[in-house]
Amino acid sequence: AARPEAARPAAACPVTGPEPALFGWEFATDPYPAYAWLRENAPVHRTTLPSGVDAWLVTRYDDARQALADQRLSKDPARHAAATAARGKTGIPGEQRAGLFAHLLNIDPPDHTRLRRLVSRAFTPRRVEAFRPRVQELTDRLIDGFAARGTADLIHEFAFPLPIYAICDMLGVPAEDQDDFRDWAGMMIRHSRPGERAAPRGGVARAVKRIRAYLEELIHRKRAEAAGDDLISGLIRASDHGEQLTEAEAAAMAFILLFAGFETTVNLIGNGVNALLRHPDQLALLRAGLARGDERLLATAVEELLRFDGPVELATWRFATEPLTIGGTRVPAGDPVLVVLGGADRDPRRFTDPDTLDLTRQDNPHLGFGHGIHYCLGAPLARLEGQRALATLLTRLPDLRCAVAPEELRWRGGLIMRGLRELPVAFTPVG
Ligand code: HEM
């Protein structure tokens, strides 16, 4: 039944006022009012990104879903590079078109179809399910590290290491090398360990170089051994009509599995715990179920957290291969298009009370994992990690609370991902 106008959420009403400043500090802290303004006033909006590149932002759910599946929008950065070279600002470093960056998220069919089919044979939901006890073990071990202290930074001590160790284990990176990956991953996203200064910018290129050398060596060794049951061995063996991945393709695949599944999962846990701590009624609901040993709410809770404050901000680059129309707006060939998942997932045209966190929400076809042929390959692993992380934290630390006011939280302003720099929490120490 139609609800009275006054009871409708603010975003369902016309959003008036001047165009909000995009990409500043306020936007990094809470982009949702700006997304609401764009959705209502300029749903397909051309803007200049901080990098100087002009791009279209798509913020309505239907337009976003359609654009994610539109194969006239290419994922290959070379398309953009070619189209904008004349303007002298591609914003895409040369390395991103080759080597480790020639991975699923940067290629189109038919190469994408072939590589995705091959990796899907190795990275199966069954393999992920078999990994459940290991994820639980990792989760418990990390909590053991701070449980007796009564305080922690949940990003550095929990959300950051969990997905790195999990995917390293799954890929078959030996335990003694996993801390190197933790450091390289930190350099890639300029995270530092507690007490250290943020890694310098040039660190990204250095980290990529070290990861490449390491993965090439590891793949070479595993190919020689040929018998492992880890994911890299599975990738090497996977074949399709007699066709196999080359060592370079396997390295690019391992790289994207490491990094597509890393910062995203950090942010699922960080944004998710933060949202729960800010919504005591929803937190109490989830805790009450967990205290009874009832985990039924966990699945819808994780989906709702992905919708409400998902990990991916603008990391959905696509490039128009021909002139096309999105939501009635003409987009010229060569232009970059960024699907704003956080805008789409708060669209009142699709979601009831979109600005309300409702862990019991059933009708929730959110776009947090994307849509179409590039739909997140790691969604089963991300869901497993997110569910184990939340359930274990809330069960083992039953009075977990945020140690700072919301306005003191610092968000990473990278635009690619939405996530916290740190999440200080407090709780009664447990032995
Ligand atoms: C693709 C989100 C975790 C591997 C994507 C896309 C999104 C996404 C939105 C599509 C991007 C686009 O269409 O432009 C997430 C979120 C995660 C997560 C929110 C965590 C909460 C993971 C994990 C892995 C992974 C754990 C692997 C270990 C991938 C890969 C692709 C992908 C390989 C590319 C698929 C393709 O192009 O065919 N992810 N992801 N992701 N994700 Fe995830």
Domains of the chain: 5-15+32-426 (1.10.630.10)
**119 CB near ligand 1 (under 6 Å):** no
Structure tokens at 190: 């300029």
Q: Which residue stretches of 43-175 are H helix?
A: 61-69, 77-84, 111-122, 125-130, 132-144, 154, 161-171
Asked if pLDDT for residue 253 goes beyond 70, the answer is: yes
Upstream peptide bond of 110 is cis (omega within 30 degrees of 0) = yes
Radius of gyration of the chain (CA): 22
**Residues 51-60 as b or e (16 or more Cβ within 10 Å = b):** eebebbbbbb
Taking alpha carbons only, the member of 157, 259, 162, 161 closest to residue 204 is: 259
Is the sign of the CA dihedral 131, 136, 142, 145 positive or negative? negative
Q: Quick check: helix, strand or coil at residue 336?
A: strand
**417 CB near ligand 1 (under 6 Å):** no
Taking alpha carbons only, the member of 26, 19, 64 closest to residue 347 is: 64
For residue 105, the ligand 1 atom closest to its alpha carbon is 37
**382 CB near ligand 1 (under 6 Å):** yes
Angle at 399 between CA 394 and CA 401, to 5 degrees: 90
- Number of neighbouring beta carbons within 10 Å of residue 9: 16
Read off the pLDDT band of 98 (50, 70, 90).
low
Highest mean pLDDT among 65-79, 91-105, 222-236: 65-79
What amino acid is encoded at 104 in this protein?
A: L
Read off the pLDDT band of 42 (50, 70, 90).
very high
- So what's the ipTM on this one? 0.99
**366 CB near ligand 1 (under 6 Å):** no
Asked if pLDDT for residue 195 goes beyond 90, the answer is: no
What distance in angstroms lies between residue 116's CA and the mean position of ligand 1's atoms?
A: 12
Mutation test residue for ligand 1: of 74, 165, 369, the one with most atoms within 8 Å of CB: 369
Give the rounded percent of residues in the chain with a pLDDT score beyond 70.
88
CA–CA gap between residue 37 and residue 321 (Å, rounded): 28
Structure tokens at 404: 């700072």
**377 CB near ligand 1 (under 6 Å):** yes
What distance in angstroms lies between residue 256's CA and the mean position of ligand 1's atoms?
A: 9
Give the rounded percent of residues in the chain with a pLDDT score beyond 90.
58
Q: Quick check: helix, strand or coil at residue 325?
A: strand
203 contacts: CB under 8 Å, gap ≥ 6: 187, 188, 190
